Amino acid sequence: MQLRYSDDEHFPAWRIAFLQYAIAATFLVLLIGYWRLQIAHHRQYLDLAERNRIRNLPVIAPRGRILDREGRILTDNFPAFSVLLMRESAATLTPARVGGIARGLRLEPADLQRLVERTAKLPRFQPVVLKQSATMEDIAFVESHRVEYPDLDLLQVQQRAYPQQAIAAAVLGYVGEVPEEMIAKAGSPYRPGDVVGKSGIERSYNTLLSGRDGMRRVIVNSRGQEIGSMTTINALPGNDLRLTIDLNLQMTAEAALGDRSGAVVALDPRNGEVLAMVSHPSFDPNDFARRIDYDTWRQLSSDPQKPLMNKAIQAHLAPGSVFKIITGTAALETGTIKTDYTLNCAGLVNIYGHTYHDWVFNKGKGHGSVDFHRAIVHSCDVYFYTLGKLLGIEKLAFFAKRLGLGGRTGIDLPAEDPGLIPSPEWVRKTFHRQWWAGETISVAIGQGAVAATPLQLAYVMGGITSGGAFRRPHLAFHDQLLALGLEPDDDSSRQFPLNENTVEAVCRGMWGVVNEGGTGAGAYEPGLDIAGKTGTAQVVSAELQASARKHEFKNNAWFVGYSPSTKPEIVVSALVMQGDHSTVAVPIARDVIRAYLDKKAARKPPPGQLQMQVRVLSQVMRTETQTAQEAAR
Amino acid sequence: MRKSVRLRDSDWSLLALSLVIAAIGITEIYSTTFHTVLAGQFHRQIYWVLLGTVLALVVSRLDYHFIVEQTPWLYGLCVLGLVALLVAGPSIAGARRWVPVGGLTFQVSELAKLVIILTVAAYFAERQVKFVTWKDFAKLGALVGLPAVLVALEPDLGTALTFFPIVAAGFFLAGVRARQVAALTLLGALMLPVGWHFLKPYQRERLISYVHPSQDTQGSSYQGNQSKIAIGSGGFWGKGVGNGTQSRLGFVPVSHADFIFAAFAEEQGFVGTLTALLLYLALLLRLLDGAQTAGDRTGAFLLVGFAAVLFFQIAVNIGMMIGFFPITGIPLPLMSQGGSSALFIFLGLGLAMSVNMRRFVN
């Protein structure tokens, strides 16, 4: 290659000059562009820059704790992390980014996309909870992807903890994410991801338990890392709530029912305080405090034994022979019979052209000569069939309702079942037919369409034995609610005064059930003043039961006991579903009553329960120390 | 008939302007990184600038004809290097752009720019015509197109695009007819859909967000929006060195490298912007003045090629900060942190000085 200096073909000089002018012109355009940003729109961009540095983080208010009547912790909180989506800078999240976040946090991309769309209309300074109770992996994901996903952040929250696990779970209920329809309601204080009570006490006293979230304004860099704090609006913690539940009695009742399906309710009839409430099988509310996984949820909700149902207030079952105290009370109160009314029980009776069997008929005998007292003691069906016939359905239904059945007791728990007392009016409305006279006979012994909950039976028993003073059952102390500025439901007693003689006769009969070798003899214990009434309720009609496989249609076992046998302080209603015979329910109520009396006498738990209660107490004390430490900090 | 030149004939103004700009850049690198893990970066940049200055002085002593004579094998080496990089190069952050050399990484495509400048100059030194022909377009197009495609495959579309102004300026200087420009423009327009097909998803996203900047404020245009906020919030006087919250808090991405001008404009305000633009303008005009008075075609084409690529990078980089262009990975000459880029510029400056020193024709 030969290159020369001078004899080149020269290009015109204007070409380079043109380039120079073009460059100068371009620079002028650039300068104008910078002038517009830096001078003309300076204020606007300064605002944006300021906002870039400040992030509003909610300070989650801890929910109030739930305590038993002696201040022992039933429900507590422990610190956990939630993954937040900060939305100040994110106008839209592209599907790809949503997918990336979903993979990282192991969420369903479709769910996450929905959440993002649903929250798009919220004010931009409000972060959205993407995932509660983040695992170590989730936390690591957020921390290590600050660059890719600067809009993710972690928030320390107080997660619900139930130190007693499944104990009293049905009463306490569980918490979960606020449902969409609650957020959508006008004036709703809730934001997506907020935690609310979903069932039990957590739900009925949600406003009391939940505090008010605070807000922290922090300076962050673009990776979302906090580098300073500005102002803090402190969170207002929720109120602690003391329940009427006695943890010792609760534990005793839980243990007494064991792994059988059923319920136990212990009530103080003098004031309506619920001392214990058990529903088995149960669930662990801790599973819900973390976002419950689908498998656990499906297992719980599809279990035929319905662990999520509070059977103490939701089991809609025939009360069986327990109902006889209502039939008996009605017969005496209306003067239909006197206590000396006697008949001969041959094991069966023919009424209205139909043969009704006594429960002892299978044993090939009758009760023989029975008066009112013996009829209750031995739960003679024929006697109460006859009373039913004499009373008629209208009077029977009237008394059943006045004595506490066929309507909600009004306990401070959500979704109480009202039970059912059939009447001619009811069959007309429901089945569009006339009342069959024979139905009255079934109702008289608590069968047929009669349905009640364990709580209702305890309520009925407490009311009748207290001479007709019905106290609304409740779990929260009236005074405490008043002190917290709530207006609790009226707790004063509903009076349905009963004749002293009636009450005495019925109570004496129930004393005999336990103490005179009656159907509840299993509850007899020297030194304990226990009375009560048993019930063995058919789940289906007797004919069907005989033809069906026995196990599936076993009878429900009931026992409603109380102590002392006059002017009771405690009523315990025990239900063992498919327990076959009432005798299996009797010891449950006895155990709870004994624990109550022992505790009252000695102010210490009986020796048999000691071991279990030491375990409980050690858990309680541990959490109490933790709380004390937190308070000190 | 090569001339002997003395040091006092050197064009000091080019080097002085460059060093002033580089000093501004180093200050800004310090300001945006001193609080981070990259705190030591500005030291490295000082070493690169010092090394570059020495190299520039060495190159300026060489006769540029001698350098242009080396073009054929330099070109071959460059293409081989790019191919080797694609085949065996280490993948860093998803791209094969860098060659590790003793603890440092080196960007081959930066030196390829220099080879392209030499190639264009060498081509037109030979082709002495009033107007270029279609054959010239085909030949030179193929010569430059090969390394350009190789760089684009790395993928480094930004650097591949910087080859274009070198060639375009070369043709313009050599003489093109209006109909040739029209035909090429049409061809380019027709090729656009094809080019779109070859773009990576992130590159498409950048183009889309360039057209609709408000649609996605977190993804691609996030960077653009954040740099606009940085620049706009700087105002007239700026926030002062080390006070640029946007860049210090990391809202402006890579504020010490590709986005350094946003950080600079935030901290020094419009006054700083104006100063920097005037310095760059002076440098570019000075280079083209040199082309006007160059001793021969070779020298003129070298200077115009170098000025063209500098101008392209400056305009695109400074322009993309305020949304004039889509975001591409094109560093700002002399200011952005980076050794390869600094070496390229100072080698180019050396070449320019070599031309200027030999401008007097006897």
Q: Cβ A38–B232 below 8 Å, yes or no?
A: yes
Q: What's phi and psi for A449, nearest 5 deg? A: -85, 0
- Closest residue by Cα to residue A85 from A48, A120, A60: A120
Of A29, A46, A221, the CB nearest to B233: A46
Place A157 in a pLDDT band, splitting at 50, 70 and 90: confident
Q: Cβ B297–A9 below 8 Å, yes or no?
A: yes
At A469 the pLDDT is 92
Phi-psi category of residue B253: left, alpha or beta, with phi > 0 → left and psi -120 to 50 → alpha: beta
At B216 the pLDDT is 45
Q: Cβ A44–B217 below 8 Å, yes or no?
A: no
Q: What's phi and psi for B67, nearest 5 deg? A: -65, -45
Residue of A nearest to B278 (CA): A27
0.90 exceeded by pTM = no
pLDDT in tens, B160-179: 889 999 999 999 998 888 89
Q: Cβ A34–B233 below 8 Å, yes or no?
A: no
What are the structural domains of chain A?
54-242 (3.90.1310.10), 247-292+313-602 (3.40.710.10)
CB A390 within 8 A of CB A378: no
At B100 the pLDDT is 74
CB B77 within 8 A of CB B85: no
For chain B, say whether A627 makes contact (Cβ under 8 Å): no
- Closest residue by Cα to residue B156 from B107, B120, B224, B99: B107
> Tokens representing B235?
């105002």
Higher-confidence residue of A539 and B53: namely B53
Which amino acid, residue A115?
L
Distance from CA of B174 to the nearest CA of A (A): 7
Which amino acid, residue A114?
R
Of A8, A29, A48, the CB nearest to B297: A8
Which amino acid, residue B281?
L
Cα-Cα end-to-end distance for chain B: 10
Q: What is the mean pLDDT of residues B146-152?
A: 92
Distance from CA of B105 to the nearest CA of A (A): 23
Q: Examine residue B39 and state whether it is found in any structural domain, yes or no.
A: yes
d(CA B63, CA B1): 11
Mean pLDDT across chain A:
83
Distance from CA of B161 to the nearest CA of A (A): 18
At B188 the pLDDT is 86
Q: How many CB atoms lie within 10 A of CB A441?
A: 24
Q: Examine residue B327 and state whether it is found in any structural domain, yes or no.
A: yes
For chain B, say whether A21 makes contact (Cβ under 8 Å): no
Q: Which residues from A are below 8 Å from B324, CB to CB?
A: 29-30, 33
Rounded to whole angstroms, what are the CA distances from B331 to A38, A525, B197, B316?
22, 94, 26, 9
Q: Examine residue B362 and state whether it is found in any structural domain, yes or no.
A: no
CB A112 within 8 A of CB A101: yes
For chain A, say whether B175 makes contact (Cβ under 8 Å): yes
What's the gap between Cα A488 and its chain centre?
19
- At A187 the three-state DSSP class reads coil
Tell me how many domains chain B contains. Answer: 1
- Residue carrying structure tokens 């090969």: B146
- Residue carrying structure tokens 């609080």: B35
Supply the DSSP symbol for A11: P
The pLDDT of residue A89 is above 60: no
pLDDT in tens, A539-567: 764 444 455 555 556 889 999 999 898 88
Q: Which residues from B are below 8 Å from A44, CB to CB?
A: 232
Can you name the residues that pair with A217 across neighbouring β-strands?
A: A56
Q: Examine residue B64 and state whether it is found in any structural domain, yes or no.
A: yes
Can you name the residues that pair with A78 across neighbouring β-strands?
A: A159
For chain B, say whether A188 makes contact (Cβ under 8 Å): no
- Number of C-alpha atoms within 13 angstroms, CB side, residue A77? 26
For chain A, say whether B265 makes contact (Cβ under 8 Å): yes
d(CA A581, CA A380): 15
Q: How many CB atoms lie within 10 A of CB A328?
A: 28
- At A283 the three-state DSSP class reads coil
At A292 the pLDDT is 67
d(CA B308, CA B121): 13
For chain A, say whether B284 makes contact (Cβ under 8 Å): yes
The β-bridge relationship of strands A241-242 and A66-67 is parallel
Place B9 in a pLDDT band, splitting at 50, 70 and 90: low
> Tokens representing A272?
């309506």
- Cα torsion A426, A432, A436, A441: sign: negative
- Closest residue by Cα to residue A348 from A365, A329, A333, A335: A365
Residue A414's contacts (CB-CB under 8 Å, 6 or more residues apart) are A173, A199, A200, A203, A204
Residue B265's contacts (CB-CB under 8 Å, 6 or more residues apart) are A34, A38, B230, B231, B234, B238, B272, B273, B321
The pLDDT of residue A305 is above 70: yes
Q: Which residues from A are below 8 Å from B172, CB to CB?
A: 15, 19
Q: Examine residue B1 and state whether it is found in any structural domain, yes or no.
A: no
Q: Examine residue B247 and state whether it is found in any structural domain, yes or no.
A: yes
Of B229, B265, B361, the CB nearest to A34: B265
d(CA A462, CA A411): 15
> Tokens representing A510?
């129930």
Q: Examine residue B342 and state whether it is found in any structural domain, yes or no.
A: yes
For chain A, say whether B229 makes contact (Cβ under 8 Å): yes
CB A509 within 8 A of CB A328: yes
Of A34, A93, A222, the CB nearest to B251: A222
Place A13 in a pLDDT band, splitting at 50, 70 and 90: confident
Q: How many CB atoms lie within 10 A of CB B39?
A: 11
Q: Which residues from B are below 8 Å from A223, CB to CB?
A: 250
Higher-confidence residue of A187 and A140: namely A140
Residue of B nearest to A25 (CA): B281
Q: Cβ A23–B311 below 8 Å, yes or no?
A: yes
Q: Cβ A19–B315 below 8 Å, yes or no?
A: no
Higher-confidence residue of B254 and A360: namely A360
Higher-confidence residue of A4 and B127: namely B127
Q: Which domain holds residue B37?
A: 7-357
Q: Examine residue B241 and state whether it is found in any structural domain, yes or no.
A: yes
- Closest residue by Cα to residue A241 from A480, A479, A66, A61: A66
